[in-house]
Amino acid sequence: MLGLTIHNLNIAVNTNGGVFSCSIPLGNGLNVIRADNSSGKSTCVNAIAYGLGLEAILGPGRKRPFPKSLYEEIFDTKSDQNPFFVSTSTVSLEVENSDGESAVLIRDISGNDRKITVESSEEEKDYFLGSSGQVGSAVSERGFHHWLADFIGWSLPKVVTFDGKETTLYLECIFPLFFVEQKRGWSEIQANIPTHYGIRNVKRVAAEFCLGIDSFEFEKKVINYKNIIEKAETEWEKIASAAEVAADFNSVELGTIPSIDKYQDSANIDFSYYEGDTLISVSEQQRSLKRLIERLSEGVATVTPDNEKLEVQNAILRKLRRELEEATESIEVTMLAISEAENRVATLKHDLDQYQQLRRLKNVGSSIEADLDTQKCPICESDLYDTLGTRTVKRQPMTLEENIEFLKNQIDFFVNIRNKNISQLEDFQARARLVKTKMVVESERLNEIREDINDVNGATKALLREKIHAENSLKETEKLNIILDDLRTRAKKAHSQWSTASESLRILRKQANIDGKSLVINKLEAIIRANLSSFQFNPSAISSISISHQTLRPEQEGYDIVAETSASDYIRIIWAYTLALMELAGQEKDIQHGGFVVFDEPRQHEASKISFANLIDKASESLAYGGQVIFATSLDEIELSESCKNKQVNLICFDDYILTQEPGTKSKETSTIEEDGENEDEENKE
C-alpha cells in the first residue's frame, strides 16, 4: 500500500522587501526539480521532510535543515544580490492519502516550529511536534505524527529497546527507507535513521514493518523469555551464594548445588552436620537434639564429669587437629597444582602463539620449511627417531597444523585440570573453616569438663549446661531449617520459571513462520535484480546480490555489500533497493510504504549517463502503479531534457534562485548592506 502523494510544495518567506516564495506542483510518477548549484534545490527537498515533521531523517543535529536565507536574510537574484531581512517563513505541503483524502500541512520555519497546522475539507486543526510532558506526538491524539500515521493508514507497532522496554516504532525510523538526502543519505541504505530512540535492530525492524513481516510480537516474546531466563539464572546465583553464607555462619556442610539446568528437586540443596565421621541432615539433627533434651529433662541422661569424659574430649580435639592438618596440607598441595597448571597453560599458549605466527607467515607466502625441519639433530645432524632404542624406522614429524591442534588440545586438558583443582581447593577451604569452628566449640567443652571435675556441684552444672547447650543448638538448627526451606522454595520457583521460559522459547523458535518472510524477500530480490540490470550493473554480479534474511538489506554472496562494491555500484544498489520497495508496495497491499521516494542529487560518484538515463526510465514507470518519485538535480538542462524526452516526466526547471519575489511585493527601498563574502546567501551556498 502506498501511503501518500505530495501534490504541491510551497515555501513562503516574508521580508522587508515583500514575499519570496516558490510553488512546485508535484504528481504521481517522476518529478524532476532542476536548478543550478546554490539555487535552493536541497532547500526544497528538506522542506518536504520538514513539512512532514521528519527533519530527523536529514541527519543528526539537523533541527533547522535550512540556510539562513529562510530565517535571516535572502537575496533577490544571482545577478543583483540585493539582501532582504526575513521576518517569518513557512512551508506548506498539499498531500493526499490512498483513500483520496486531501490535507494541507503548514509549518513555520522562522516562527513557532513545534506546531503543524492541518487544513482539510472538514476542519483546520493544530497539532504539536516532539513531546508534551510524558506523551509524544506519535502517541497523543493531538500529536502530529499520530495524525500523520492515521492519515497514511498505519498502525505503528510497539518494538523493543536496548533496555528491554517497549516503545513505538516512530515515523522518523521508517522514512529513511524512502528519503535520500544529499549530504549523508548516499553513504548507505537508511543512512540517516535515528538511533537516539534506543530501538533494538532499528534498521531491520523498520524494513520489517514496510515489508509486512510480522516479527514484532515474535521479537517481543523472545526478548521477554530471555529476560525471564536471565532473571532466573541471576536468582539461582543469589540462592547459591546465600546457601554458602548460611553454611559458613552455622558451621555446617553444604552439598554441591547443581546448575539450574541440572536441578531436579529440593533435595539438591541441603545442609549437613558432622557427628564424628558421619554426616546427618538438618531434620535428623533436630530429632536428635529433641530426644536429648527430653532425656536430660527427665533425668534419664546423666552427665558426670570424670577423667574418662576428659579423655574422650581430648581425643575429639586431637582428631579435629589432624583433620585441620590434612585439610591445610591438601590446600597447599592443591594450590601448588593450580600454579603448575597455570604455568603449563601459559607455556602452551606461548608455544601456540609462535606456531600460529609461523602459519600466518606460511599463508602469506613465506618459506618456513627450514624452521620446521625436525628430521636431523640440530647439533650432530644425525637422523632423529621416535625412540631411544635401536629401531631404524623413522617416524614422520607432526605437521604445522598438527602441532597447532595438539597444543590446543593440551591447553584444554590443563585448563580442565586447573578448574578441577580450583573446585577442590574451595571444598578443602570450606572443610578447614568448618573444622576450625568445631575446634573452638570443642575446646570450650574441654575447659568446661575440667572445671566441672574440680567442682563439688560439677555434675549438676554439667547437666544444666548440656541441656542449655542442646536447647540453643536446637534453636539454631530450627533457624537453619527455616533458611533451608526458604532456599528450596526460591530454588523451586526460579527453576520453574527458567524451565517454563526455556521450553516456551524453544517452541516459539521452532514454530516461527518464515515462509511468508521468504516469499516477500524473494519478490523484493527479483525486482532489485531487474532494476540493477536496467541500471547497467555488472551482469555477472547481479545473481550474487540477495536480501539478507537477518538484516533485510542487500548483500553480496553473504558479505556486506558496502565493502564489496565500488561507490558508483553502491549508488545504483541504493536506487534499485529504494525503488523496489515502492514498486513492491504498489503491487502488494500488505507492503507499507510512504508512497513517494525522494532522491537529492541521485547522480552521485559520477554514475554513468546511461545508468542515470535508465534511472529516469525506471522512476517514470512508477506512474503505472501509483507511486511518486521526486528528483532534485543540477544536471545540465539540455542533457536532462534529452534524457526525459518522450517520457512521462514532470520536469520543473529554474534558471535563477528557486525562491523569487512575488510580483507587486517588491520594496522601493532595499537594504544597503555591504556585499562581502560573509553575507552571501546560504540558500545559494548549500
To 5 degrees, how large is the angle CA 651–CA 653–CA 658?
130
pLDDT in the model for residue 234? 92
pLDDT grade, residue 676 (50/70/90)?
very low
Structure confidence by residue, pLDDT tens digits, 367-419: 665 455 555 554 555 665 555 555 555 556 677 888 888 899 999 999 999 99
Do 30 and 652 contact (CB within 8 A), yes or no?
Answer: no
Structure confidence by residue, pLDDT tens digits, 414-457: 999 999 999 888 888 888 887 887 788 778 777 777 776 665 56
Write down the residue that cell numbers 530471555 correspond to: 226
H or E element, residue 39 = none
503 contact partners, CB below 8 Å, separation of at least 6: none
Question: Partners of 279 in the beta sheet?
Answer: 274
73-82, 207-216, 282-291, 426-435 — which one is most confidently predicted on average? 73-82
H or E element, residue 332 = helix 307-363
pLDDT in the model for residue 670? 40
The closest of 176, 216, 173, 207 to 520, measured between CA atoms, is: 207
Question: Partners of 97 in the beta sheet?
Answer: 4
Mark 546-556 as b/e (b = at least 16 C-beta within 10 Å).
bbeeeebbbbb
Give the integer Cα–Cα distance in Å for 370 and 398.
14
The closest of 101, 82, 208 to 148, measured between CA atoms, is: 101
Give the integer Cα–Cα distance in Å for 87 and 411.
75
pLDDT in the model for residue 278? 76
> Could you give phi then psi for residue 95, rounded to 5 degrees?
-125, 160
**pTM (2 d.p.):** 0.61
Amino acid code (one letter) for 184: R
Task: Answer yes or no: is pLDDT of 127 > 50.
Answer: yes
Give the integer Cα–Cα distance in Å for 116 and 126.
6
Give the integer Cα–Cα distance in Å for 134 and 551.
32
In the chain, what are the domain boundaries? 4-213+514-685, 262-459
- Judged by DSSP in three states, 208 sits in helix
Task: Answer yes or no: is pLDDT of 647 > 80.
Answer: yes
Which is higher by pLDDT, 8 or 265? 8
pLDDT in the model for residue 442? 77
Crossing angle, helix 567-587 and helix 202-211, to 10 degrees?
40
pLDDT in the model for residue 105? 96
Largest pairwise CA distance in the chain: 128
| Pairing, β 135-136 against β 115-119 | unpaired
| CATH superfamily name and code, 4-213+514-685 | P-loop containing nucleotide triphosphate hydrolases (3.40.50.300)
pLDDT grade, residue 685 (50/70/90)?
very low
pLDDT in the model for residue 456? 54
Give the integer Cα–Cα distance in Å for 644 and 650.
9
Task: Answer yes or no: is pLDDT of 175 > 90.
Answer: yes
The closest of 222, 433, 471 to 327, measured between CA atoms, is: 433
Do 258 and 246 contact (CB within 8 A), yes or no?
Answer: no
DSSP string, 520-541: HHHHHHHHHHHHHHHTT--HHH
Domain 262-459, CATH: 1.10.287.1700
203-207, 448-452, 594-598, 661-665 — which one is most confidently predicted on average? 594-598
> Could you give phi then psi for residue 137, rounded to 5 degrees?
-70, -15
Give the integer Cα–Cα distance in Å for 580 and 596.
12
